[in-house]
Amino acid sequence: MATLRHSFIAGVGHYVPSRVVKNAELEPMMNTSDAWIQERTGIKERRWFEEGTDTTANMGANAARKALEMAGVEANDVQLIVFATLSPDYFFPGSGVLMQRELGMTNNCPALDVRNQCSGFVYALSVADQFIRTGMYDTVLVVGSEIHSSGLDKSPEGRGVAVIFGDGAGAMVLRPSTSDNQLIMSTHLHAQGEFAEELIVKEPSSNRNNRVEYIVANQAELYPYMNGQNVFKHAVVRFPQVIKEALDQNGMQASDIDMLIPHQANLRITQYVQQKMGLSDDKVFSNIQRYGNTTAASVPLAFSEAVQEGKIKRGDLVCLAAFGSGFTWASALLKF
């Protein structure tokens, strides 16, 4: 029987649009305040894309170039692209093939898109890891990229959701591991579809005979809806569960973690999980204060920043965890 091999993260990178949107800019349009936003979310500012400059695919490409450089591989060395996003450039085709074109890749490697929202990147990482474990591919590019700002209700009615989200991208290059100190140890994926409508963008839906006419008459359903209390209630349970699942499978304790990179959903959720897991401030990385919730981009963006800032070093034990729409939740335990 063939022995499965491990993958490791050979390179990371991130990109955010240049436009910084502070809470003060949202105050007049949403009848809100900097204090209200910070108290409920921890967010001070976020990035919004520039039309004509940023796209979901090219933001992903910008992050990917940095990850490829760190990994020491060329774009045409990539054998598979896994692209996580809920905000694709087109209804179809997916953004993975658009990023392939943006990177100038000519090797015809496969590209697939993952639509798992806030858990999307950890799901995508798990998919990439399986392809390397089985020996099918040696170099996989995993990307999370999102443009939320163009699809938010920026009115007082929509402020409860609109203040949370920002735009950005992050990327990782996975390669086969040759060291016990650099490997993805395990990934863990879950879903509970009974809560699908608790965090949802309902339209455009294919389940209508005249979907275009319906959208024209019901434009509010193009905006995200979130039952914030229920999402919070489930998130603070599922985050610790899926982190503990990863630790238990690998015979480790929370005290062994060098850095936890949670999905940047809400600073209050992160702080609750940190307390529940008994982790000190230097073992949990948060950048939601600067970028807001970037959904599938948040985990790789935070990971890349933590590496850039020297807060994650080679050999460190890192746990990634996410929870979001679906409901879906996931974790990965790895040695960087």
User: What amino acid positions are annotated as catalytic residues?
Assistant: 118, 263, 293
Question: Residue 143 corresponds to which tokens in the numbers above?
Answer: 């990307």
- How far are the Cα atoms of 43, 141, 174, 279, 290 from residue 131, in angstroms, in the given order? 37, 11, 10, 32, 34
With contact defined as beta carbons under 8 Å apart, do 75 and 44 qualify?
A: no
Distances (CA, A) of 167 to 36, 45, 159, 297, 331: 21, 11, 17, 8, 22
293 DSSP assignment:
B
- 259 phi, psi to nearest 5 deg: -155, 130
Q: Are 186 and 332 in contact (CB under 8 A)?
A: yes
Helix, strand, coil shares, percent, the chain, to 5: 45, 25, 35
Distance CA 12, CA 273 (A): 25
Instruction: Specify the length of the chain in residues.
Output: 336
- Amino acid, res. 83: F
Give CA–CA dist 114/110, Å, rounded. 13
Q: Could you give the angle at the alpha carbon of 66 between the alpha carbons of 96 and 120, nearest 5°?
A: 40
Alpha-carbon gap, residue 179 to 192, rounded angstroms: 36
